[in-house]
Chain A
Amino acid sequence: MNKKQENEIIQSILNGNREKFALFVDKYKGPVYNLVYRLTGSRHDAEDLTQETFIKAYKSLNIFQIKNKFFPWLYTIAINLTRNHLKKKKPLFVENIEDIKPDNRQSDKYNPEINLIKHQEAQALARSIQRIPIALREAVILRYYFYLPFEEISRILCISLSGAKMRVYRGLEKLEYMMKRKAEGRVLRSRRQRRKKG
């Protein structure tokens, strides 16, 4: 679906053909669900908020500007809803994110040991992301899980370009610090276990 087709669909929806909205839901449900899931760390919340995002997008379709891209607009709605949700309800614990696995495109896919380490590290990263401030979390997720350019991130988050770069950098700094501490903790724990066994 290109930009022109998207515009035609929007026009058609605005003229009363609401069934066509299913095309948008089908196309963007994956990315929006992913985004909200990464932000909240909960599948249940992600489902509710993604649904809410599409309903809000449908209601506000009349103020959408045809010359703009559809997905950044949709992401902005999703992020605002998630922010409001997190303001009301702080996540008490981070869900066990078992579906975060190292990608099979890696060259070491046949090495189970390396795969296991990467799997653990990816899980540690997912948990650390849940602990950094939401403003930084949004920027890091959009940049490194969604591969968006800084210009797009600044538009989605309604901040300046330098603001987007700064948030990504600060987010990465915090993540690096947390990951280091986790790794140190793991080493200490394994040493203690070895001493106990010994």
Chain B
Amino acid sequence: MIYSMLNPPKQFENMKKFEHIINLAQNTKAVSSPDGFTEKVMENLPPDTHAVDSKLLKLFYLPFKKHNFRTWIEVETDAECAFCFLMAGFFYFIMGLVLSLGLKTMGGHVHVSGWVMIQPQIAFASAIVFISLGIFLRKKSMLAIKMAYSWTIIYICFSVFNSIGIQMAPGNPFTATGMLCLTTGAVLLGIFLAVIVHKYREMLFMESF
């Protein structure tokens, strides 16, 4: 590392457009740390507590460190964040269509309660909210971020209550396992969107100063 700092390579990549800036940065002298710095740090080190907790800490920390979860989901631009919401909206739109067609064909044969019958409308309403938020998020406004974040929380809670409501409704056409899978999927989607919004907010914040 120190060797590479003292012996900078001539060029890393072919970015002719920025050659001047890159050369300027690479030819800038490094500043040296103040005198007596090491002594100062050593004086301020806390008393040793490592030996006792190191093994226990590693046991819990290792799996998280091994897979850097933070890099799994990443948002760099408003378009990426908006895209996720638009896709969620599109998914719910398709789901609404499938549900309305399915319930129409099933309606004549089985008696289905009102709560189950309004599921297509709920799916369409969710699609509208997701798509509107997707469009609004392109505006790079803090209000859009807050609204998107609140909506994902409401959406997660509602998904859980909705599936309980469906299970309790008379003439429910869904099996318990099927409902569990659907709810888990909806909750995971909600968490994913919440993480996306959080990362986007962080990114916007870092860009603001």
A31 at the interface (CB under 8 A from B): yes
Given A158-B70, A172-B18, decide whether A31 and B5 contact each other with a Cβ distance below 8 A.
Answer: yes
Asked if A29 and B37 sit within 8 Å, CB to CB, the answer is: yes
> Which of B45, B62, B70, B205 has a CB less than 8 Å from the CB of A65?
B62
B24 at the interface (CB under 8 A from A): yes
Q: How far is the CB of B83 from chain A (nearest CB, A)?
A: 15
Asked if B46 and A147 sit within 8 Å, CB to CB, the answer is: no
Given A83-B206, A99-B29, A135-B203, decide whether A59 and B57 contact each other with a Cβ distance below 8 A.
Answer: no
26 A-B contact pairs sorted by A residue (CB < 8 Å): A25-B38, A25-B42, A29-B38, A33-B37, A47-B33, A54-B41, A59-B46, A61-B50, A62-B57, A63-B54, A63-B61, A99-B29, A100-B28, A105-B27, A118-B27, A134-B206, A135-B203, A135-B206, A135-B207, A144-B12, A145-B28, A147-B9, A147-B26, A160-B71, A172-B21, A176-B21
B208 at the interface (CB under 8 A from A): yes
Asked if B41 and A14 sit within 8 Å, CB to CB, the answer is: no
Asked if A147 and B12 sit within 8 Å, CB to CB, the answer is: yes
Asked if A65 and B65 sit within 8 Å, CB to CB, the answer is: yes
A9 at the interface (CB under 8 A from B): no
Asked if B41 and A122 sit within 8 Å, CB to CB, the answer is: no
Asked if B18 and A176 sit within 8 Å, CB to CB, the answer is: yes
Asked if A176 and B17 sit within 8 Å, CB to CB, the answer is: yes
B181 at the interface (CB under 8 A from A): no
